[in-house]
Amino acid sequence: MQWTRYAALLAKVLLLGLLLSALIWPDLSGIKGKASTARLIVYPLGGMILPLWWWAYGRTRSKLHRTFPWAADLLMTLPWLIDLVGNRLNLFDTVNWWDDAMHFVLWGFLTGGVLLAFAPRDLTRALTTFVALGFGTTAAVVWEVGEYVTFVRNSPELQTAYTDTLGDLTLGTLGALLAGLLVHQVTKADALPLAGNVTDSPL
């Protein structure tokens, strides 16, 4: 779909714009004191990892995609963009439910994007779910460890970090689980017309 291409490109432009503004005006970024240096390194990599993979490998060897997977790219870019917007608007510190919602929604986006980009289309629902849980839960653990090492251990958040981390891991895992189920349904629906064409073909 054309709109996914434009949406993915717009998301990248906004992401890079916010990262650049955070470099120029760190006090206004919303990530000052929240591992800003690590975010300024990880976030552009997160937003560009699929295009870099496609340029280096996927465009010539990918068995899943004949053209660049824009929908997957959009889903893999949105988590970094939305997190920056949330911090810039101070939503994580002023809206009680925002952090929990983001761990659920953004991990769902990221897991869905990874599945669409890299998971074989013929996986069963169970295998798709296991892959989603494997990636989503592992990524959530890496994120929480990164947060602890870079800023939580030296911040007032340390007092509530254990409870918060357990909640974040649970919500991230549930988001990944939902993404796995949805991606299986979407890819299954997309494959139905192709299967029908093969069945109905006189050849």
**pLDDT of the chain along its 203 residues, tens only?**
689 999 999 999 999 999 999 999 999 889 988 889 999 999 999 999 999 999 988 777 777 777 899 999 999 999 999 999 999 999 998 999 999 999 999 999 999 999 999 999 889 999 999 999 999 999 999 999 998 888 888 777 788 888 889 999 999 999 999 999 999 999 887 765 433 443 333 33
SS3 108: helix
87 alpha carbon, distance to own chain's centre: 17
Residue of 173, 148, 171, 150 whose CA lies nearest to 161: 148
Give Cα separations from 124 to 35, 37, 38, 108, 118 (angstroms): 39, 40, 37, 19, 15
CA separation for the pair 142, 99 (Å, rounded): 17
Q: How far is CA 42 from CA 64, 117, 165, in A?
A: 26, 19, 20
- What pLDDT score does 1 carry? 67
